[in-house]
Structure 1
Amino acid sequence: MIGIDLVAIERITKLKERFGDKALLKFLSPEEIILAKSDATAAGFYAAKEAISKALSIGISEKCGFMDIKIYKDAKNAPSFTLSKHLIDDYEISDLSLSITHENGFAIAVAVIEGSKSSKKLWH
């Protein structure tokens, strides 16, 4: 399963100008906010969570909220993520991959999730 998302960094900047850093709490945990030292990184994390939910074919929804996805950085500073236990169990997830980049005012993320189950049937 694969998902992709694109976010204008200015969107995050405007949210923070209007609501302050608490705007980030709508889609990031306090630990993620510490990692997101710039609006570009915060936009990348937002795009990542959207891409991950799209890879699951459910989007950000009642079944998969922003806080069901936790972004972190590994020992080499590469982005990665974990999912709530119910998502791992429901989709029998065995492997995860994430790539985030930002350039020219945009952040983009691509997520790949391997699992035994999909929310979309490929055949009938």
Structure 2
Amino acid sequence: MNLEIGTDIIATSRIKNAIAKFGLGFLERFLLPSEILLAYKNKEKLLLYNKDSKSLSHEFISTKTHFFTQENLDLYTTQMQDIFNDLQANFTIESYKIDTIAGFWAIKEACSKALGVGIGKELGFHDICIYKDMYGKPHLALHENKYNNFRIQKIAISMSHDCLNAIAVCVITFNEA
């Protein structure tokens, strides 16, 4: 069994400044739609778009295998388009949990380090999806192609944040070649 660990830490002020400067567009550069919704503070407003709150969840992810397909992600993104149009039109930085967003950045960076490739050609921000279980614990899923290419057996993550920094650790075990 091969085991790799990655860590990352980021000042939450860096994320806050980037959001203040670039708005929702900054979030869309490194977060998937479902992750942006996790960081949105007004959950009641989101439920106005859907009678079934499960439709706002990460149902496009296979939580048993921890990967997602492009087809399922595209379908989910299309279903969420009305919500994102409203979020864009009414964007305010105060509507988002900055600490959570910084933590998501740190998780994705830690994952890329555990995989040994960093964020770039071999692994992009949108190849990684963070979701939470019913208890609020974060989990990580990879795009199906990346999951298979890296021969991943299991991924575990942990994240913590305060008003100054967010830190994340990612541990990955790999299947033998």
TM-score normalised by the chain length of structure 2: 0.64
RMSD of aligned residue pairs (Cα, Å): 1.3
Aligned residues: 118
Residues 102-113 of structure 1 aligned to structure 2 (within 5 Å): 102-113=161-172
User: Partner of 1:28 in structure 2?
Assistant: 31
Looking at CA atoms only, which structure, 1 or 2, has the larger radius of gyration? 2
In the alignment, structure 1 residue 7 sits paired with structure 2 residue 10 = yes
Shift of residue 104, structure 1, vs aligned partner? 4.2
Per-residue Cα deviation, 1:60-97 (whole angstroms, up to 9, x for no partner): 01110000000000111100010111221122111110
In the alignment, structure 1 residue 83 sits paired with structure 2 residue 156 = no
Cα distance in 2 for residues equivalent to 1:117 and 1:28: 30
Structure 1 gaps, min length 5: 119-124
Cα distance in 2 for residues equivalent to 1:46 and 1:77: 17
Shift of residue 29, structure 1, vs aligned partner? 1.0
Contact 2:99 2:163 in 1 (8 A): no
User: Partner of 2:98 in structure 1?
Assistant: 39
Cα distance in 1 for residues equivalent to 2:173 and 2:35: 24
Residues 60 and 77 of structure 1, relative CA distance in 2, 3 Å threshold: same
Which structure's residues are more often strand, by fraction?
1
TM-score normalised by the chain length of structure 1: 0.90
Over 2 Å off, 4+ runs: none
Match of 2:113 among 31, 54, 59: 54
Which structure's residues are more often helix, by fraction?
2
Cα distance in 1 for residues equivalent to 2:122 and 2:146: 8
